[in-house]
Amino acid sequence: MNMHYALTGELRRCLIVDDEPSMRGILRRLMTAEGFECLEASSGSEALERLAAEPVPLMLSDFHMPGMDGAELLRQVRERWPHTAVVMITAISDVNLAVRCLDSGALDYLTKPFSIEEVRARVAQALEKRRLLLENQAYRDHLEERVSLQARKYEELFLASLQSLADALEVKDAYTWGHSTRVSRYAVAIARELGVPSPRLEQLELGSRLHDIGKIGVREGILNKEGPLTDEEYLHVMEHPVIGWRLLSPLLQEMPHALAVVRSHHERFDGCGSPDALRAGDIPLEARITAVADSFDAMTSGRPYRDGMPVDEAIAELRQCSGTQFDPQCVAAFEQAIARQTFPLPDWSVRRQTRLQIVA
């Protein structure tokens, strides 16, 4: 067993700890002959000071020392420098102590008196154990990193698939093309004005992108109807929050804020919304935010039977419905975001011409 192979790429340095200068001298000569640079300490406390200044891959320590004994020194070294291989030195009558030291993390032990060959063998064995432990730890760390990376890739693929589904839904209706993207942009801007923390912000962004996914269960003839909806048709369309929530619940179990957006974005601040008739603060914040963003985009987007509303008129409508349909704080935050020019304001005439060219 080659102790130098076990230290490939590392400095061959060791710390010798013993309160007897003669014993330190014997070990120093032995280890120097093996190509090691040797540091010395006469006590446990001095050893800790030396390690704090110059960590080493190997420590040879006597067990019986005044003040801090070898057991306490071993405990602190294992805690503070877990990659240091410790070889304990005991008298022949203290084998039981040596076994306890092995249980506490020492990688080997020597018994006095010892021979040169025994020192070489024990040190080489301890360093080889250390090498294997470090390799095993590196493998586990790398494996965890690969598993984490793979999990992130699966999550990204999953979210991309959901977004593709939402995009496919919008293709069914040329006049709502890009709706979910715009709503998400507006919702995130409102949330940032309100100081929504990052993890919830990410779920809000996802939920607002998927908020209308339940319309996959709405009859296409109603989605593309050229005229206002009848009461019956409107009720049919308003089933989409629950349809979307049921569709996504098995997939987004760990994203409750995103699910809340999908289910509750048509709730009203005054309690007259659907599907649960929630009121004011009982409506999840993410849903209250998305309600403002969704309504603004609906007002400024054209339909077959009407043009989009100018931005100023849409903002005035949000203000008028603040406190009844919308959360006043969310409306105010949206106006702040517009004032900061956080996002480009919609121009339906330009979007409509562009979309008609694409469709043609």
Residues 184 and 270 in one domain: yes
Residues 42 and 184 in one domain: no
Residue 2 lies in a domain: no
Q: What is the pLDDT of residue 139?
A: 83
Q: What is the DSSP string of 35-93?
A: T-EEEEESSHHHHHHHHHHS--SEEEEES--SSS-HHHHHHHHHHH-TTSEEEEEEEGG
pLDDT by residue for the chain (360 residues), tens only, comes to: 555 566 666 788 899 999 999 999 999 999 998 889 999 999 999 999 999 998 899 999 988 888 888 889 989 999 999 889 999 888 766 667 767 777 778 888 888 888 888 888 888 888 888 888 888 888 887 877 777 777 777 767 777 777 777 666 666 555 557 888 899 999 999 999 999 998 899 999 999 999 988 888 777 666 666 677 777 887 887 899 999 999 889 888 889 999 999 999 999 999 999 999 999 999 999 999 999 999 999 898 866 556 778 899 999 999 999 999 999 999 999 999 999 998 888 765 544 443 434 333
Residues 189 and 77 in one domain: no
Two tokens, residue 145:
């990193």
CATH of the domain at 19: 3.40.50.2300
Residue 359 lies in a domain: no
Residues 233 and 121 in one domain: no
Residue 354 lies in a domain: no
Residues 190 and 315 in one domain: yes
CATH of the domain at 232: 1.10.3210.10
**Distance of alpha carbon 288 from alpha carbon 316, whole angstroms:** 18
Query: Measuring CA to CA, which residue among 149, 170, 155, 168 is closest to residue 252?
Result: 155
Question: Among residues 118, 141, 164, which one ends one of the domains?
Answer: 141
Residues 190 and 304 in one domain: yes
**Distance of alpha carbon 351 from alpha carbon 301, whole angstroms:** 9
Residues 181 and 258 in one domain: yes
Domain range for 189? 173-340
Q: What is the pLDDT of residue 93?
A: 65
Residues 135 and 190 in one domain: no
Q: How many CB atoms lie within 10 A of CB 103?
A: 8
Question: Among residues 85, 120, 141, which one ends one of the domains?
Answer: 141
Residues 189 and 277 in one domain: yes
Q: What is the pLDDT of residue 272?
A: 95
Domain tally for the chain? 2
Residue 199 lies in a domain: yes
Residues 266 and 136 in one domain: no
Residue 88 lies in a domain: yes
Residue 158 lies in a domain: no
Q: How many CB atoms lie within 10 A of CB 250?
A: 7
Residues 33 and 129 in one domain: yes
Residue 219 lies in a domain: yes
Residue 252 lies in a domain: yes
Q: What is the DSSP string of 118-169?
A: HHHHHHHHHHHHHHHHHHHHHHHHHHHHHHHHHHHHHHHHHHHHHHHHHHHH
Residues 208 and 319 in one domain: yes
